[in-house]
Each structure stands twice: as C-alpha cells, then as structure tokens.
Amino acid sequence: MQKEGKNVPGIIIAGLRGGSGKTVISLGITAAWKEKGFKVSPFKKGPDYIDAGWLSKAAGRPCYNLDTFLCSPATVKQSYIEHSSNCDICLVEGNRGLYDGIDTDGSTSTAELAKLLDLPVLIVLDCTKSTRTMAALLLGCMTFDPEIRILGVILNRVAGKRHEQKVRVNIEKYCQIPVFGAVPKLDAEDFPERHMGLIPSEEHAFSEKAVQAAGRVAKTHIDLDGLYDILIHRESSGTNRIEIQEAGKTQDTGPGKVTIGIVRDSAFQFYYPDNIEALKKLGAAVVFISPLRETWIPDVDAIYMGGGFPETHAPELSGNIGFRNDLKRLSQQGLPIYAECGGLIFLGESITLGDQVFPMSGIFPIRFGLCKQPQGHGYTQVQVVHENPFFSVGEILRGHEFRYSSVLSIEYKDQEMAFQMERGKGIINRKDGYFKQNTLGTYTHIHALGTPAWAASLIEKAMAHKNSKS
C-alpha cells in the first residue's frame, strides 16, 4: 500500500486510432494485475460509460473519467490525485488516437492528458496486414511531441509468430523501445460490440468470464512483470512527479437530509461515479430503483435518471404500467426529476422499434424512434436561456451526447426548452433541456465535477419538495 505523499506509478494506454484494441488489453492488464494482488485504480479518458464500466469490473473498484473538455485541467488533475490514493498502480485508458483532440493543437487529446498527469504512455499497435510500417507510425508518434514519453508498445492482432517477429525487429531497430507483448487476433464472442464500443458489462451475460478471459490473454501474451517493474523503477527514480496524497474530504452538510432515487439497472446504467458521489458529499442519501424490477417508486425526494439502452428493454419497461404511472403521478405532483438521454426517452410518450410502439411514462409529449446511425455524437456546449428547475439563466454547461434515438414528434413551447445548443444537436432545432414543472430531460450528459451547481441544485429542489409535504 502506498503511503501519503508517495508517488504511485501509473500509465496511460493509448492507440493510434479508435478500435485498435486498447480496451480489451487495458481490461486484461487490469484484471491480471488485480489477480496478482495489486490494487489497481482504473481511469478512462473521455466521456465514456461503457469502457469505464468494464474497467471497474476488472479492477473491482470504481473507474473515474478524466476529461479536460467537461472539467478544467486542474479539476481533472485533482480527481486523478484523489482517486489514486490507497492503490498500488494506476491505469488510464485513452480514447481514439493518441493525439486526437478537438482542434489542431490536440486539445482534450490523450497526449495532453498524459502531459497533464505526467504519465508515460504504452501504445497498442493494431498490426493487421502491416509490418515495417508499424515502426514508421510509432516513430512518428515518438517525435511528433517530444514531451510525450512513450514507454513501450504492445502488438495487437498479430497473425502469427512470423508476423510478430517482423514487427518486433523493425520496432527495436528504428524506435529502440521495448515490445511488452504480442496479442493474436481474438475471438469476438468474448467481447461483442454494440454501436461504437463494447456493450455494457451489465448487459453481458458472461461479463465475469469475459474479464477473466481478458486477464488470461494478458498473462499469456504480455510481459506484465516487466511492465510493472519499469513503472516502479520510473516511480522510484522520480520520473513520475505527481505525488498522490490523501485528498481533503468534503464535509457532508447533513447526512441523509434528503433521499435521491437513482434509476439504475441494465436499462439505465450510464452514471459517472463522480455524479453520484457529488450528491452524497452534499448530504443526500441515495437509493437505487429499477423500472425493470419494481412496480412502484419508494418514498424519495428527487429522482435522477441516467442514460443507457432503454430500447433493448422496451417491452419490459412498457409492460411495467405501475412504475410508469407512478413516475408520471409524482412528476405531476412536483417531484424533482432529472433525466439524461435514455432517461429522457422513458419520460416520453413512446419509443417505436420497427413496427412496434412501446408506451413510456408519458410525462413529455415526445415520441421517439431508433436509427441505425448516430443522431448525436460528441461534446456539447449549451447556454441556459430559460428559467428552469435546475440551472440559472446565462449559465454555460459543457457535456456530451451519444444517441441513436430520434424524435419522431414533439409538442413544446419555446420557453419549455431550457438550453440553446452552442455545440451539439440537442432534442430539436438545437434546443435541449425540455422541462415541465420540476421534471427536466436532456440529451446532454453532464459531469458533476465540471458542472458543480448541478448536484447542489438537485438537492435544493429535493429539500424544497420534502418540506412542501410536511
């Protein structure tokens, strides 16, 4: 166990593009290190719920997102420091290609995060149908930004020993950095994909077996001891300069003063740990509820509905008439409800899948459909333009949207849309944040560390509602 004020070794695992296989390798390394008895603190770069869920399962502890678009660099660095305490090693999975950001300067890229946290980078190279070119690409990454410390590489999707040897020899000759392993092409059955990433671990019937399989791949094909030893050496030599200290704990303002119901199950599972923790740190008690398992809503002072894939559970959600009616009744009585993406869909009238229409809660007069291509994907920035239950007019919120759902029909007045989109698509006509009374639904996912007013506002509304019943 690391002592206060000591350096904790860490590494960022990056690729040259999205889909290079870094998630499975990150899972495998995390699971294998955990099996060895190391306390691994996992992180995911970017606004990703699915990969973070898998990393959390592999590590046996929460995986926190690090995103310099959603949060300030100082906040991201503090989050890394706070959540790296009481661990043996940190593993950060990057996203997209190493240098891919939102502009030509590489802002928000994995490389910029590596510099912010002063962490070395391990590159996962997809070697499909390539040999010597891999060395050229790697050398380009090494020289593109001299501040990036590329520690070594793992070859992925190699076609056999001959293929592996050709790539190894070229990398050792031209790049002069170690190859820590070579992973063959894997059977896709262990990690089926949905949309643009791995399916959520909660929906994978064999998720534990999948993590174990990834761990076996890492133990068989990656020099885990060599990788760990070189990180320990860098830490002990002072190369990694971030010191992990026990962060000051936020004082609760009155534990359990309000109760927030969080709708979480395999249909609604997209939550940043920081968002739930923000509510707890401000004194809220949290209970988890599920429209897949329960036919009524317990006594709560507010509800937080995250995103997910309600379309894959549409028959069950639609068939739970008791829960749907209870939610609508509570909304009409003024219960504060905050919903994102999949939660927004559940607040609508229905979702149409093929030739079937599945009724939802009917709180908002919106009918949803599902498309084969993303209808909103990427970072968002919104300006709060109308009075609403949770945000102040004039506030600028940063978030992200990722959805395949579309709006088939909607009835609304302009003043019922709290947000004007400065970046992103929103619900309709670059508007988002549809609200009625104390219920607000949005396609924009926010991060509590980047939007600290959100948790305080939800609790304030919950307290007001609780007092109104007294």
Q: Give the three-state DSSP class for 446.
A: strand
pTM (two decimals): 0.90
Set out the domains of the chain in order of their start, with CATH numbers: 10-236 (3.40.50.300), 258-468 (3.40.50.880)
Catalytic-role residue among 87, 90, 341, 371: 341
Q: Please report how the helices 161-174 and 132-144 are oriented relative to each other, as an axis angle in degrees rounded to 10.
A: 40
Reduced DSSP (H G I as helix, E B as strand, rest coil) percent helix, strand, coil of the chain, to 5 = 35, 30, 40
Active site residue 341: yes
pLDDT band at 267 (very low <50, low <70, confident <90, very high): very high
- In this predicted structure, the answer to whether residue 252 has a pLDDT above a threshold of 60 is no
- In this predicted structure, the answer to whether residue 240 has a pLDDT above a threshold of 60 is no
Element at 158 (helix H, strand E) = strand 150-158
432, HSE (Cβ side, Cα atoms, 13 Å)? 30
Residue 381's pLDDT is what?
97
Q: What is the mean pLDDT of residues 121-147?
A: 97
Q: Are 68 and 136 in contact (CB under 8 A)?
A: no
Residue 242's pLDDT is what?
52
Q: What is the mean pLDDT of residues 411-440?
A: 97
Q: Please report how the helices 273-281 and 453-468 are oriented relative to each other, as an axis angle in degrees rounded to 10.
A: 50
Note the pLDDT tens digit of each residue in 55-107: 999 999 999 999 999 999 999 999 999 999 889 999 999 999 999 999 999 99
Note the pLDDT tens digit of each residue in 305-331: 999 999 999 999 999 999 999 999 999
Q: How many residues does the chain have?
A: 470
Note the pLDDT tens digit of each residue in 103-129: 999 999 999 999 999 999 999 999 999
Q: What is the mean pLDDT of residues 399-423?
A: 96
Residue 207's pLDDT is what?
78
- In this predicted structure, the answer to whether residue 189 has a pLDDT above a threshold of 70 is no
- In this predicted structure, the answer to whether residue 255 has a pLDDT above a threshold of 90 is no
